[in-house]
Structure 1
């Protein structure tokens, strides 16, 4: 009976969180300018797709308007008909990137079929699916962060949509812990920051190690063999050590 009740609670969690995030994104969309025409939208998409790839691989400083238009197959005039300047373009690339990750959170929650009966494994199961861990997104995250550091006057605009994604992760953790009667030993915002930091380091290691022959062997100080990615090994322990029963 208890396992059936937990399953129903987790299904309800997935449904309620998906609806909550959809409402959050709808609010964000209302703050944006009007929808462009189909032709204009197609041009913008082509330019943004080309720019995303170039920025990920060359960085913002290594990407020019000419590079973007050449790769997308448009003139510089097409670029300036759709974007004020490179700052505006970078903001739009970042906005689409964060919205794409927020959509992924919604998709995961809407199709999530819980397979665990405890909060730790349930949280790990969701977070491993919604945290971006591919090469291009890792490079873009770092590029956006570097851009904000170099140009602090632009930080507010660039961070607006990333805030929505982080808030969604906080909402997920809060709902999971509440359903399993757990509370964090620190703020949920800080716990999300720790999880994202672990994910970033794990992704960095995976990218660098991709294609390499295994060279690491157990040492006298660390005799245990290491299996899987860093986040898969440590995320359960991180959540377990940073939470406690609510009462």
Structure 2
């Protein structure tokens, strides 16, 4: 049951990392959070954690690349009084091969999740966000969506796609009561991002952060998202880049080795 007047925030990719942290912080800010991901056990545990702590949360198993499932999800949300915020967080990286050796299958999977998944959920929920009279679409992109680096072309291409999606949507819906916010994190040390990228190779994953005293955490990014979402309605944070102090660019990182 949703309390009268409570605003609804949907967070995709909420089973861990930035998504889970964002759900917790939006709940603390007073939102009823609808947490979605493919891993049922993770999101149900997160929803239970939030509700046990006095917040409001609903778990919904969802693969953002499955358009029929996304449309069914949007229809089910019709039972809520409104949909006020969408945080497109589902995404991820696979591999770090040069262009000459990159896996087309991995490139395709990254594009499907980071771009088409964001497109699917945004298209499906945009009518409800508009009908709310004060909606917000958040796209969690990456600094990879703004500048390239060696060994990252597949992920960089996907995140450039997410960046352009957000930028173009903002142009197309100007004049409607919906903001489009893009948050582009740099180096974030989460529980699974690098491990997934390197196909479970924890040694390779650890090297990403080697010598970096304080990479960003999931909570750092979640706090940034929550701050942007909770600005007054007329204030739009078009693009916010957030990096750790040790990172000057995608390829310039201070390491204390």
Mark yes or no: TM-score above 0.5: no
TM normalised by structure 1 equals: 0.30
**Higher percent of residues as strand:** 2
